[in-house]
Amino acid sequence: MKKMVVGIGVLLSLLLWFSSCGARIEESEEISGSDLLKKEEELAAEGENYIVVGFSQVGSESDWRIASTESFKETFSQENGYYLIFEDAQQKQENQLKAVRNFILQEVDYIVLDPIVETGWDAVLQEAKEAGIPVIVADRQVKVADESLYTCWVGSDFEEQGRRAGEWLESYLEEKGRTSEEIRIVTLQGTRDSTAQIGRTGGFAQILERNDNWTMLERRDGDFTQTKGQEVMEDFLKTYSGIDVVVSENDNMTFGAIEAIEAAGKTCGPDGDVIILSFDAGRAALQAMADGKINVEFECNPLLGPLVSDIIQKLERGEEVEKLQYVKETYFDSTMDLDTIIQERVY
């Protein structure tokens, strides 16, 4: 039987105790250790069980991440038959490793991992496998020697997003009669070695290679945050003259870049000095596009909770699930009916 932790609140105490008996926990009010056995018997008689899910999230570094977290919290509610243990890693892999090991000790039914970086997961996922706990990887991917260490991955095709961005830029420059001009580009990259950064950078690079008149002046890590995006863009503007295009690998960095561009006395967007390509397509970014400051947005759908729930329900029924599952995504540019799109947007 697992050692019970007392005094950190009833739900975690119940989780630890019930999972030690191989059962799923019940919802309850605060309870002392001496009354725990009696309470367990009362709750068991009620007959309402929960699927216990441990979720290790990257952090809260961006609007996209916040929307993703809310999707999981809304989906994995007690009303929907789940009990969610949520851990914010604050963008530190060591925090995620600790969280996953705690989930294993608590004998949760499923682990959902949104990994900060792709490598360094073999050992802890092996521990989860040995404990018989399925691991679903969401959003960012993992690179492990044995892919059986996780059940499946669900998220975006980041490389395709990068390719679409490059192809859109080709068409846009052709439309503007600029195909023979030298096009000077800088990239605000996301957290280095994250799946989104690797995919978006790599996908765009494929299109860059076939356009001899495009010059990538520099790519630099903006860590998916507005503050770092502004800082890096300010340095780009001091270092390079005549920047034509900014590829920003998420909206928060884009907001920072816009601030830096405007502070430098320049403009951006369809009628501006600098073409802005951004990723995520949250409501705030679409509004910035409607305001004429962003040229195009490539959607990264954060609403992964329902799809992960569908996977868990299939596993509960003993069904097989596909190893890789992509969410549907699109793009938006300034030629579209942005007012209607923004009104209908859920994130």
Least confident interval from 22-31, 217-226, 330-339: 22-31
Q: Are residues 34 and 57 in the same domain?
A: no
Q: Is the pLDDT higher at 27 or at 103?
A: 103
Q: Are residues 35 and 14 in the same domain?
A: yes
Q: pLDDT value at position 40? A: 39
Q: How many CB atoms lie within 10 A of CB 118?
A: 17
The CATH number for 78's domain is: 3.40.50.2300
* Residue 326 counted as domain residue: no
Q: Are residues 173 and 120 in the same domain?
A: no
Q: Are residues 242 and 162 in the same domain?
A: yes
Q: Are residues 98 and 185 in the same domain?
A: no
Beta strands 331-333 and 296-299: pairing type? Answer: antiparallel
Last residue of a domain, one of 28, 49, 70: 49
Q: How many percent of the chain have pLDDT more than 90? A: 83
What is the 3-state composition of the chain as percent helix, strand, coil, each rounded to the nearest 5? Answer: 45, 20, 40
9: amino acid identity, one letter: G
Q: In angstroms, rounded to a whole number, what is the distance separating the alpha carbons of residues 139 and 117? A: 11
Q: Are residues 119 and 171 in the same domain?
A: no
> How many CA atoms are closer than 13 Å to the CA of 281, on its beta-carbon side?
23
Q: Are residues 91 and 230 in the same domain?
A: no
* Residue 103 counted as domain residue: yes
Q: In angstroms, rounded to a whole number, what is the distance separating the alpha carbons of residues 319 and 309? A: 14
Give the pLDDT confidence of 127-145 residue by residue, as tens digits. 999 999 999 999 999 999 9
Report the mean per-residue pLDDT for the chain: 89
* Residue 187 counted as domain residue: yes
Across 195-219, average pLDDT: 97
Q: pLDDT value at position 63? A: 86
* Residue 327 counted as domain residue: no
* Residue 20 counted as domain residue: yes
Q: pLDDT value at position 29? A: 34
Q: Are residues 191 and 73 in the same domain?
A: no
Q: Are residues 113 and 217 in the same domain?
A: no
- Separation of CA 39 from chain center: 38
Write out the residue range of the structural domain in which residue 14 sits: 1-49
Across 269-280, average pLDDT: 97
**How many domains does the chain divide into?**
3
Question: Residue 221 to residues 112, 206, 293: CA-CA distances in angstroms?
Answer: 26, 19, 22
Question: How is residue 128 written in tokens?
Answer: 């989860």
104: amino acid identity, one letter: I
Tell me how far apart the terminal alpha carbons of the chain are, to the nearest angstrom.
43
Q: Give the three-class secondary structure for 234.
A: helix
* Residue 100 counted as domain residue: yes
- CB under 8 Å to 44, separation ≥6 — which residues? 23, 26
Q: Are residues 264 and 309 in the same domain?
A: no
Whether the predicted model's global pTM rises above the 0.85 cut: no
Question: How is residue 172 written in tokens?
Answer: 């846009």
Q: Are residues 100 and 146 in the same domain?
A: yes
Q: Are residues 74 and 208 in the same domain?
A: no
